[in-house]
Each structure stands twice: as structure tokens, then as C-alpha cells.
Amino acid sequence: MFHLRSRFGTAMARPYSQRPGNAALPFVFRLRPEPVDTLAFNPQARNSKLARLEAVLLLADEPLPPRRLADVVGLVDAAEARTLIERLKELYDLDGTAFQIEELAGGYQLLTRSQYHPWLARLKRTGHELRITPAALETLSVIAYKQPIMRAEVEKVRGVACGEVIRQLMEKGLVRITGRHDSLGRPQLYGTTKKFLQAFGLNTLKDLPEVESLKSGNRS
């Protein structure tokens, strides 16, 4: 390196590898393509928030409410979670994927579409099926439609003792004690659980079939 003398004093010569700040790049470098906007190029691509939401739904083994999703994914609020869920639903429909997002028990869950269930049943996941006897299903129906309800009222409807059946339903997590009645002895009141909604594909108890429609279905 050598030094140049000027009327402004001593200055160091610029190394060959250092280009002036206002110098144009060589032609070969100007040919490099600009960064590609993946979302603009592929409308079905997921941004970071949508990808995180999809990952959480894939891992969750129960329906997650919007507020919980917002906390886990790092969203502003439950409203943003709902917006992203609707967008993810659209993408699944466009993809023709085997998955869908269903609203169950006050939350959202990633599930397979019903048309693929026959193939999935071949996996024979023993121990995971929810087996309910006809007597237990009848008792569960009475509780679901008339909750909160006392055991004596269930037995009056069914005409048989139901104590053991109710206990079995509680062990399966489908029925729970919701409080006590104000009558003599303050007997326990029973109602269904969140697991009941999930097991029967319901979002709320309002989604239960109308009794009249059940009767018409039985006649057909």
C-alpha cells in the first residue's frame, strides 16, 4: 500500500477490492433474480402464523378453543385465531386433503374426513373405541336431553335402576356430577361432559337432534 499526498493532507489509497459506494454492480451481479414472494407465487402456501396454527391442531388430541389457540400460537386474540382457522379450512378444501377442521365441544380439532373412515378402521386401534352398551346409551340419552337430572328421574324414565350404569358412564368420562338438587337429602345432579360432545361430534348441546326428528327416524 502506498500513500498519496494532497493539499488536504495524507490519504490512504483505496484497496482494489473495495468499490466506491456509488459504483454500479458488475453486469453479472445485476442479473441475479429478486427474492420471490412465496405467498404471492403460491396462494396455498402457509405463512408463519398459519403454519404454527396447523402444527398445533395436528398435535392436539382434543378440541382447542380459539382463545387457547391464540395463546399457544402467539396470535393477537381469539378473533385472529378464528380468521386463520377459516383460511386453513379453505386451503384444505382447495388441496383436496383427507383432513378437515371441525368445531367440537366449543373448540376446533383437526380430523380426517368421513369418507376415509373405512380405510382408517382397518388399523384396528383396539382400546381406543368408545364402547357403550344399549342400556348405557339409553341412560346417556336421558341425561343428555334432561340435564341436570337426578338419578331417580333417570330411573323413572327408563323404568329400571341406573346407579351402576351412571357410574360406568362417569368412568368413561361421558357423565359428571353438576351439583345437588334442593329437595330432601340434596341428591346429586348429573350432566354430560365435554368428552361427550367430542365423542358424538357435537359443538354444544344445542346440536343434539330434536326429539321429534328422532321419533320420525325410528318410524322410517
Angle 208-213-218 from CA coordinates, rounded to 5°: 115
Cell of 31: 442479473
pLDDT, residue 218, reads 46
pLDDT, residue 2, reads 44
Contact in structure between 140 and 161 (CB atoms under 8 Å): no
pLDDT, residue 13, reads 52
Mean per-residue pLDDT pooled into runs of 10, the chain (220 residues): 46 52 53 49 74 91 92 93 93 87 91 82 60 90 94 92 92 93 90 90 87 49
pLDDT, residue 24, reads 59
pLDDT, residue 209, reads 87
pLDDT, residue 212, reads 60
Q: What whole-number distance in Å separates Cα of residue 92 and Cα of residue 133?
A: 36
**Sequence-separated contacts (24+) of 123-126 with Cβ below 8 Å:** none
Instruction: Name which of 46, 52, 78, 66 is nearest 108 in CA terms.
Output: 66
pLDDT, residue 217, reads 45
What percentage of the chain's residues is helix, strand, coil (to nearest 5)? 45, 15, 35
Q: What whole-number distance in Å separates Cα of residue 99 and Cα of residue 110?
A: 7
Angle 65-62-201 from CA coordinates, rounded to 5°: 90
Q: What is the pLDDT of residues 181-220, one digit of tens each?
A: 898 888 999 999 998 998 888 888 888 888 765 454 443 3
Cell of 39: 405467498
